[in-house]
Amino acid sequence: MIMVKPINPKGAAPRPEAPRPTLGGNRQESASNRNQAPGIGADLALDLTQIGLDITGLFDPTFVSDGANALISLGRGDLGGAALSVVSILPAGDLVKLGKLGKYADTLGKIVDKVAGNPLLKDSLEQAVGTIAKALDKIPQGMIDQLPASARNNLDRLKDAVARFDKAPGHLLGPRHGTAALAAQRAARGLPPAGAQGDASTVAMIRLRGQDYVGVNSSVQQPRTTITLDRVNAQTRTHAEADAVQQALNGTARKRGGQAEMWVDRDLCRSCGPNGGMRSLARNLGVDELIVHTPSGTQIFKPTR
């Protein structure tokens, strides 16, 4: 169970509310999820990953995605799927996959329905759905405009399904999840322990679409991270929190709602907290709430507009 302090638009923290329950349901439901998610999730994750590769392959002139998809299909014993991926490498092959967008939208929609009542299953599929989301984000609008109306409609259905997935309840990992990871990152980078004499660094970690991304303040970045975040104040842009968010957005797709969780081994400065830096990062992430754990506790930040 996690103590949270909502942050109002001006950045001031009101009195703490009662602890929020984790989003995993009651103990009986959680036990059921633990029994169901691993096997079901692994198979569905491969299905979703292949959908993402297929969508990427529609607009990928290098054919890398189709080749990777063929290998996955062969590994799963799906000779028909492997053949389709190989055919898609040919000039007219993508016309076959274009006709499957509707089926992909149906499949993802049904999976989202299952996820709505199973937070653990959602966690096991986060990375795979991220593959689909990233593929959709990369499609140039000019190409979308040239597609048949039915294909454009099916792409919209896929985007809507990703948004429903992102907004579905998941469970929060809590403050302890990041403690050891942040300390290990310091050791790996040759930084002193957090708060030690002479320590002037900050390490942050964010979990986005089932993966952890680590950032440090700009003075110890090797190499220096190129920050492309939109409308984030100049001070926050040099901080570990922004670096972690940039790493996450470089690695996967921004979300279409829902939550993201971050851990920082130093309390937030004024620029990141009261002056709105974290709220700007939440907007860049596409989340409804950015949950941030620091040595002083946990806070929730709503995105700026």
Residue-range domain boundaries for the chain: 59-167, 173-301
What's the pTM value of the predicted model, to 2 decimals? 0.77
Which of 60-74, 103-117, 210-224, 227-241 comes out lowest in average pLDDT?
Answer: 60-74
Domain 173-301, CATH class in plain words: alpha beta
Which of 58-67, 154-163, 182-191, 269-278 comes out lowest in average pLDDT?
Answer: 58-67
Percent above pLDDT 70 for the chain: 72
Percent above pLDDT 90 for the chain: 51
**Residue 116 — pLDDT band, cuts 50, 70, 90?**
confident
Please check whether residue 261 is in contact with residue 301, taking contact to mean a CB–CB distance below 8 angstroms. no
The C-alpha atoms of residue 56 and residue 2 are separated, in whole angstroms, by: 38
174-199 pLDDT, tens digit per residue, is: 999 999 999 999 999 999 999 999 89
Residue 81 has pLDDT above 70, yes or no: no
